[in-house]
Amino acid sequence: MLFEQQDRETPNSTTFNEWIADRSLPHLSTNAGAAAVSYQGWRRFKESFAPELVARAIQETETSLGRPVECVADPFGGSGTTGLVSQFLGRSSATIEVNPFLADLIEAKLTAYDYEELAAAYIQVLSCLGTRCRSEPFPNAPATFVEPGVGGRFLFGIDVATALYDLILTIEECVANPNLRRLLKVLAVSVSVDLSNAVVSGKGRRYRRNWRDRYLDAVNVRQRFAAQVHRAMYDIRRYGLRREPAFRLLRGDARVLAKDIGPIGVGVFSPPYPNSFDYTDVYNIELWTGGYFSSAQDNLTTRNSTLRSHVQIVRSFSREGVVSDQLNRTIENLTAVRHQMWSRHIPDMVGAYFADMRTIIQQLAGQLVSGGRLYIVVGDSQYAGVSVPVSDILTEIALADGLEVVGVEPVRSMRASPQQGGAQKLPETLLILRG
């Protein structure tokens, strides 16, 4: 059993094995049932790591180093798996996340709370609800956000929008403790997609079938928020005392911040894949409802700070300094069928993706302690029948930069996106590098 003896020094804390309920998984890919684990169900995150993968990376690195790692780093925090696992295992961690809603979600999960104070803050919010002067809900959001919307289409009916806006502003105004304020706000914002007329999936956002027949109001907003808070309170009560309560969270672009982490024992991460999927889209509803965005410019600024894995915005797709024959061949092949693609920028974006990945890997490798490792889960992509063999290209780049490749393991196959041809399976791979 993984890390069974871990908690002798802190006997009251919850063990890693208790947290994952001693389950055993068929594979350690992303999307391997992480949402079933406490904390990870607060907001479904399809691409989150199985916690066991992070535990494995720590364990293998420590076995090879012969001592505990000083810091576990994750430059692409997402749902915060790496920070959580590190806390359960009693290791220091540093997480970077560019998306401000996800950064708040990570911080809300990793923070320790006084349970009684949390319960009191929740009751305070309930008693203040509806006492504020009513104002126009989400006044800065796009015109399609609130009824009447544009052309008869809108994401939130007026009753839901008013109640949700009131809930979020009430939390902001009446909870004095900033940690509790962040937690309650994240929980409120996390139910917003459920309350909207849209569903969000890996394929993007679309209106629910029959959304016009679905009537929700303030009662639904309060019920969903209550259920969400009760779930979080259970998780915090049951698993809130962890062996390492501290954590570091760096908010912003990993391409800029990764160099500032300091000594790293092991880096464990899964970047966005070069499949034209932008997390700014996936979390757009939360970003607006939570007030993380208050103008179109905010949306653009966040998109510009994300890895160049998508073509949602056109920016410089330069790829200077990347040494890989496989990448050169892949870009030639993609360029030859550029006319069949839904965006002519895709071949250049793919080149830029590897330039960004090289920057991150170099920055982390430069801070690895001697013998420290990087565990990177990556997925291949495909456009107009041309495969982008991500792990093969990254292996070439890493070798050219003087890193040692310790392992290249298939993790599972992913379904290709509809733009990439649908059903075909694309490999997901764990790449293990040593500094």
Ligand X SMILES: C[S@@+](CC[C@H](N)C(=O)[O-])C[C@H]1O[C@@H](n2cnc3c(N)ncnc32)[C@H](O)[C@@H]1O
Q: Which residues bind ligand X (CB under 6 A)?
A: 45, 47-49, 75-76, 78-79, 81, 96-99, 102, 253-255, 270-272, 279, 305-307
Q: How far is the CB of 316 from ligand X (least distance, A)?
A: 15
Whether 128 contacts 115, CB under 8 Å: no
Taking the complex as a whole, the smallest distance from the CB of residue 188 to ligand X amounts, in Å, to 20
Q: How many CB atoms lie within 10 A of CB 84?
A: 27
Q: How far is the CB of 47 from ligand X (least distance, A)?
A: 4
Q: What are phi and psi of 265, to 5 degrees?
A: -85, -50
First to last CA, the chain: 28
Hey, is 413 helix, strand or coil?
strand
Task: Show the DSSP H helices in 129-262 as ranges.
Answer: 158-174, 178-190, 192-195, 218-239, 254-257
172 three-state secondary structure? helix
Do 202 and 30 form a contact (C-beta atoms < 8 A)? no
Can you spell out the DSSP letters for 55-76? HHHHHHHHHHHTS--S-EEESS
Of 48 and 162, the one with the shorter C-beta distance to ligand X is 48
Nearer to ligand X, 103 or 160 (CB): 103
DSSP letter for each residue of 254-290:
HHHHGGGS--EEEEEE-PPPTTT--HHHHTHHHHHHT
Taking the C-alpha atoms of residue 382 and residue 276, their distance in angstroms, rounded to an integer, is 10
Minimal distance, residue 2 CB to ligand X, in Å? 17
Q: Output 10 or 362, the one with its CB closest to ligand X.
A: 362
Would you call 326 exposed, middle or buried from its count of C-beta atoms within 10 A (0-12, 13-18, 19+)? Answer: middle
* Least distance (Å) between residue 43 CB and ligand X: 10
- Closest to ligand X by CB, 96 vs 216, is 96
Place of tokens 């700014």: 280
| Rounded distance between C-alpha atoms, residue 198 and residue 187, angstroms | 19
In the complex, the smallest distance separating the C-beta of residue 45 from ligand X, rounded to whole angstroms, is 5
In contact, 330 and 397? CB cutoff 8 Å: no
CB closest to ligand X, residue no = 78
Q: Is the Cβ of residue 50 or residue 384 nearer to ligand X in the bound state?
A: 50
Angle at 313 between CA 311 and CA 314, to 5 degrees: 85
Cα–Cα distance measured from residue 96 to residue 74, given in angstroms and rounded to the nearest whole number? 6
Minimum CB distance to ligand X, residue 157 (Å): 29
Nearer to ligand X, 267 or 389 (CB): 267
The distance of closest approach from Cβ of residue 158 to ligand X in the complex, given in angstroms and rounded to an integer, is: 31
H helix intervals, 344-415: 346-365, 390-400
188/287 with CB nearer ligand X: 287
Q: CA-CA distance, 2 to 4, in Å (whole number)?
A: 6
Q: How far is the CB of 229 from ligand X (least distance, A)?
A: 22
For residue 102, the minimal CB distance to ligand X (Å) is 5
Which is closer to ligand X, CB of 392 or CB of 428?
Answer: 428
CB nearer ligand X, residue 272 or residue 347: 272
Q: Which is nearer to ligand X, 14 or 302 (CB)?
A: 302
